[in-house]
Structure 1
Amino acid sequence: MTVAASGPVFSLREIPFSYRGSWFGFSPVVAEQTYAEDVHLVSHQTGMHAVLRLVPAVETTITATPHQLTWSRDDGRIDLVYDNPDTVRVKGRGLGLHLLAADPVLTPFSGPYFYQDPRDDSYVFTVYQTGRRYRITLISGRADHLGAQALGTAERGVVLPDDEAWEIAIEEYETARAPYASTDAFEQVAKAARAEFDAFAAAVAPWRGDRTPAAELAAYVLWSATVRPAGFVTRPAVLMSKHWMDKVWSWDHCFNALALADGLPELAWDQFRLPFDHQDAAGALPDSVTHSEILYNFVKPPIHGWALRHLPPAPDPGETYRLLERWTTFWLDARRAPGRELPHYQHGNDSGWDNATTFDHERVVETADLASFLVLQLRQLASLAPDPDTSARWSEQADRMRDALLTELWDGERFRARGVRSGRTWSSSSLLDLMPIALGEELPRPVRAALAARIERHLTAFGPATELPDSEHYQDDGYWRGPIWAPSTVLIEDGLRRAGYPDLADEISARFRALCEKSGFAENFDARTGEGLRDRAYTWTAGAYLILAAAHERRTRP
């Protein structure tokens, strides 16, 4: 990543070019870990779908900044900017462009249908995969077309010349809308797009500067991954990515809420509340929410009480209490075996640490991290309770769960997991077993000291590995069996600070921030090399950088 006068310059292979509120972006990433040669318009309505290929007439250099995407070669140039969340403007001079259907095959059940609208001579793709239309309107210059109304396999699209200047608009919409009318010059549209992003960055990272060189790009990752309400997405939402991880998972959203909280509290509360809009009759939150799908087959860990400790006061505390109460009661009623004080996960996916070695022996397991998060959540319910008696009841439950955690799962040296049906216990070399550090000052001093010492053993040059690097189970790209992740880093850093280990917390924060500045905002990172892994534009990673950088700036600036 480099920084230009117009903002950070980034690679489209790592971060898609998009705009706050839009459901589409521009990227060569067309499916999970699948990279095309050309930039595509990729929509996230009804899933991730490549819709159009944008192919310059000759090989070009591509430059992406937060407000403008540019193809250039010699004296030729094509610029693309967002006019609004569902419309882009594209302007060319001395360089031709082909806009072609990404899928060349049209059947009665799938594929793109392409025609010319007789109302205004615009060109329209109707795409089965997204259920949307994509209209190309010529604003100036001339254009030719290929394959209009063609069936079967055909090249379909619009061809713009390289021997004269031209400008077009591309829109995504449902069934019909008035012909596109150009009101502002291209330069004004570009200036407005830049101002939109600059205002967002100023709100979420007003402290950014030379000491935080990745802050502006982190803000862009959050801004560009935000979508407007549509389908099952009931509020303005920060997707985890506008690559293939294009959902909101029910713990990822907490970290994005915290990153936005100081500068954009309303948007932050939208992030926190979105999964609660789909809370089921049992009080459970969905595993994930996206445009056209809600999944309930798993849940995610109850870190919401922890998150509320760090959010500004709720705009509707009574409703927040009610929602948190139902989510907590789900764990107490539906996830505790008869006669047991401690709750259990039914699968590693419930923990968010899908394949952590903690779950190698059994899947239906009482774990120390889950009990710790619920203690924090019960404490938060006590602070939000409508009356003293209710508050006392929640505090008593928190005390009982904390005491059961220490009595039943602490063996004097480490926390153990316990199989719910077998009753047997075991320890692992996963960082997950050390997550009770999130309880901070609630833990006895010897327990804090033991956890802090074990966390140090996980610490690599880039941050805390999720599996001990010298473990036989460690894998460089093993998902939760080695790589560094943002959420575990933030939770541990916060817990260590409250547990009385600020120096170790500072070191973890510094290493993770340096990692992001070196390797961007990947879903996770190789703990040995710092290389970014999997989805390379993950918002909770960008959010974690902003959380840690903002806190560091508050602590160290005069």
Structure 2
Amino acid sequence: MSPDAAERASLAARHLDLVQAPFTLPRSRLLVFRADRGDLTGPGAVDGAPPATALRVHTSEYERGLDECRVLDELVVRDAAGAPLPVTAVLPHAIEFGGGAASLSFAGPTALSIGVEQVEHLGHDEALVVEWRTPDGRGHREQVGPGAGVRLDVAADRGVRHAASASHATDLAATERIWFDWFDRCPSVREDLRQMAAFCWWVLGANIVELPGLGGARGVVPSKIGYVGVWQWDAYFIALGLRHGDPALAREQLEIAFRFPGEDGQLPDVVHEHGVLASSDDLPAADRDRLRRAGSQIADPNAPVPLTKPPLAAWALAKVLEVEDAPDWARAQLATIRRSQDWWFAASDLDGDGMPEYGHPYSSGLDDSPIFDGPLPTTAPDLGAYLVLQDLELARLAERYGADAAGDPVAHRERAERTLASLLALWNADAGRFEARAAGERVASDAIVGFMPMLTGGLPGPVLDALVEALADPARYARPWSVPTVSAADPDHSSERMWRGPVWVNTNVLVAEGLRASGRQDLARELEERTVALVVHGGGPHEYFNPETGLRAGSATTAFGWSAALFVDLAVRLSSAP
């Protein structure tokens, strides 16, 4: 193990609270939390209360909540007098009890190992008792002597088998080696970003799952808490962070996203352990119920609606190839991306005007944005911008790797020019913003999608100036923590509601990319600095943040994959010379 890996593991451990960051292992589906579910305010404490004495264990499964995936409702280590030993340290490879008297670690992806140390100086040179309770209410207890342990094997049905084990020290060392090998890959960044970068790198490792239906492919999921699948654009953003330390794993995320195109070229929204989600017919019941509660007209469409994600595939591919070139691999992926780009124009130009639309909010990734409050289909400025960017990237990649895979670069640039013209028709000069259209009717929402046309690098000067002015306006987007996903001056703005005001790391990154593409490098770097400062201030790479407080929004998931990956990517960029 290298000194750097040990230091990064130590830095990451400062955030491992067993609440927002559970104890887990790369490739494992097991998650260990503290049993009281409180929010930690310091190492080992819940709102100033004593540290945890009981843990709970869950599995991580597609479209199942933690309560549906209970393995152990309580796990406690007791001393010889029967008193529970507190959790005194959480490390990437172990949870320690009683100052090191006992520890919990992994014995491979599907088993937990609990062992008792021979530590006479701590007063624990006698047997301890390990107790656990399963969801059926049954209690189990094992007496474990110094130097011995117990192994808990978790079956696919979440059943638990236990056996005495003399290999705890070996299991502990093996788990430590897995994590130290992972931290060895963590990129070096500047001093003020090192601790959060180490934690974000832990998040990426923690969110690795095996996908048995894909031959054991390694998917880095958005979160093992509630998002267990490879969403298409999550894969793109996650690959951007992974590329700096594990380019092969970055490429693997793109391979998974590109692995199941439809016959017409459409890429699926999600690849998961049971198949793919590529149509409204594939939606799980929980999603349909949520749409019904929101009053959506598309909860039960009369005909299947294709579900995909925004066309950022070529952009992500080009980013990954910047770090480590892979020509043969790139050519194989480009054929899929080219067909996907063609699909947007052939199958998602729903009104036949040459400008593709979103047929379903899910295909935008911004499901709850107010631009989807009206009827569908939605003509959106972000989609137009992504399509222009993708054609321009395909043209550049075709010149680099050959037109056989990526297509004629001239044709891509000509289509990009036509799409840009259609995109500029969405500019409302009086309002000073790009606006969406719902079934052809103007949508007045002042939303972050209106900044994405900067990604094209081809906006007229007055349009670009108006967008820059909007970003600097404290009444609209220059909030204490920017950039809100809906203007603070918009009646639909909410600081807490998903995609209606909270700050997302990925949209900040895309706005910064747009500023840079439009020649405003100074503002791009300033936004990138504010974005990493937000994650540090907020305490971690959450799913989204309140733009007024800079803290995690109440319903946001923690230890979120793309927030972690993009923090790493930004930290690397900001640690280099301007």
- Relative to its length, the structure with more strand (as a share) is 1
Which is helix-richer, 1 or 2? 2
Distance 1:98 1:323 in 2: 52
Render the CA deviation track for 1:244-298: whole Å, top value 9, x for unaligned. 2222211111111010113211100111121211222232222223223532223
Change (3 A) 1:168 1:179: closer
Which residue in the other structure is 2:56 paired with? 40
Per the TM alignment, residue 544 of structure 1 is displaced from its structure 2 partner at its CA by: 1.3
Q: CA deviation at 1:554?
A: 1.5
Instruction: Say whether 1:538 aligns with 2:560.
Output: yes
SS at match of 1:159: strand
Secondary structure at the aligned position of 1:464 is classed as: coil
One-letter code aligned to 1:15: A
Change (3 A) 1:523 1:29: farther
| Paired residues for 1:467-506 under 5 Å | 467-506=486-525
Question: 2:262 aligns to what SS in structure 1?
Answer: coil
Say whether 1:261 aligns with 2:281. no
Deviates more, 1:36-45 or 1:296-305: 36-45
**Residue 483 of structure 1 aligns to a residue in which SS?**
coil
- 1:262 is paired with a residue whose SS is coil
C-alpha distance 66-404 of structure 1, shift in aligned 2 (>3 A): same
Equivalent residues of 1:11, 1:63 under 8 A apart: no
Gaps of 5+ in 1: 105-154
Residues 363-408 of structure 1: per-residue CA shift (max 9 Å, x gap)? 31111110110111112222333439822222211111112211x2
The residue that corresponds to 1:145 in the other structure is none
Aligned to 1:229: 211
Distance 1:277 1:37, change over 3 A: farther
| Local SS of the residue matching 1:212 | helix
Superposition deviation, residue 543 in structure 1: 0.8
Which residues of 2 match residues 180-219 of structure 1 at below 5 A? 186-207=168-189, 209-219=191-201
Whether 2:114 is the aligned partner of 1:90: answer yes
- Unmatched segments (≥5 aa) in structure 2: 1-6, 40-45, 47-51, 79-83, 118-123, 281-306
Q: Does 1:50 align with 2:70?
A: yes
Q: What's the Cα RMSD here? A: 3.1
**1:166-221, CA deviations, whole angstroms, 9 ceiling, x for partnerless residues?**
40123345599x998978x5445434433332332332323364443201110000
**Counterparts of 2:19 and 2:165, CA distance in 1:** 31
Whether the aligned pair in 2 keeps the contact of 1:208 and 1:215 (CA below 8 Å) is: no
CA distance in 1, matches of 2:100, 2:403: 69
SS at match of 1:214: helix
After TM superposition, the structure 1 stretch with the greater mean CA deviation from structure 2, 374-383 or 450-459, is: 450-459
1:425–1:331: structure 2 CA closer, same or farther, 3 Å change rule? same
| Deviation digits for residues 223-243 of structure 1 (CA, Å, limit 9, x no counterpart) | 011012313586211011111
Q: Greater shift after overlay, 469-478 or 225-234?
A: 225-234
Tell me whether 15-24 or 43-52 shows the greater mean CA deviation.
43-52
Local SS of the residue matching 1:79 = strand
* 1:438 matched to 2:455: yes
Looking at structure 1, the residues matched to 257 and 89 of structure 2 have their Cα atoms a distance apart, in angstroms, of 36
| Range moving further from structure 2, 505-514 or 370-379 | 505-514
Query: Using the alignment, how far apart are the partners of 1:251 and 1:30 within structure 2?
Result: 34
Q: 1:4 & 1:276 partners in 2: Cα distance? A: 33
Cα separation, 2, equivalents of 1:340 and 1:68: 58
Aligned residues of 1:232 and 1:289 also touching (Cα < 8 A): no
Is the CA contact (8 Å cut-off) linking 1:240 and 1:246 kept in structure 2? yes
Q: Distance in 2 between matches of 1:465 and 1:6?
A: 30
**What is the deviation of 1:465?**
0.8
**Map of 1:347-426 to 2, 5 A cutoff?**
347-385=360-398, 386-387=402-403, 390-406=408-424, 408-412=425-429, 413-420=432-439, 423-426=440-443
Partner of 1:63: 89
Change (3 A) 1:240 1:211: closer
Distance 1:225 1:554, change over 3 A: same
**2:188/2:194 contact within 8 Å kept:** no
Structure 1 447/38 Cα, relative in aligned 2: closer, same or farther at 3 Å? farther
Whether the 8 Å CA contact 1:306–1:373 is kept in 2: the answer is: no
TM-superposed CA distance for 1:452, in Å, is 1.9
Pair 1:240-2:246 in alignment: no
Is 1:550 matched up with 2:572?
yes
Residue 70 of structure 1: CA displacement? 2.2
Question: Is residue 25 of structure 2 the alignment partner of residue 19 of structure 1?
Answer: yes
Per-residue CA distance 1:126-149 (angstroms, 9 max, x = gap): xxxxxxxxxxxxxxxxxxxxxxxx
TM value normalised by structure 1: 0.81
What is the number of equivalent residue pairs in this alignment?
A: 494
2:469 match: secondary structure: helix
Give aligned-pair identity as a percent: 26
CA distance in 2, matches of 1:303, 1:495: 13
Offset, 1:537: 1.5
Does residue 527 (structure 1) correspond to residue 509 (structure 2)? The answer is no
Distance 1:196 1:234, change over 3 A: closer
In the TM superposition, what whole-angstrom CA distance separates every residue of 1:103-123 from its partner, at most 9, and x where no partner exists? 21xxxxxxxxxxxxxxxxxxx
Q: Name the TM-score, length of structure 2 as normaliser.
A: 0.78
| Mapping for residues 266-345 of structure 1, pairs under 5 Å | 266-296=248-278, 297=280, 298-312=307-321, 313-314=325-326, 315-345=328-358
- Aligned position for 1:461: 480
* Cα contact 1:232–1:292 (8 A) shared by 2: no
CA 1:536 to 1:233, structure 2 compared with 1: closer, same or farther past 3 Å?
farther
Q: What are the superposed Cα offsets for residues 27-50 of structure 1, whole Å, 9 maximum, x if unpaired? A: 25899x9x9995222212454512
User: Per-residue displacement from partner, 1:465-499 (whole Å, max 9, x unpaired)?
Assistant: 11112332221211000111111011111211221
Cα deviations by residue, 1:63-95 (Å, 9 ceiling, x for unpaired): 3221212233xx774311223323332113654
For 2:360 and 2:162, the matched residues in 1 are separated by 52
Q: 1:472–1:480: structure 2 CA closer, same or farther, 3 Å change rule?
A: same
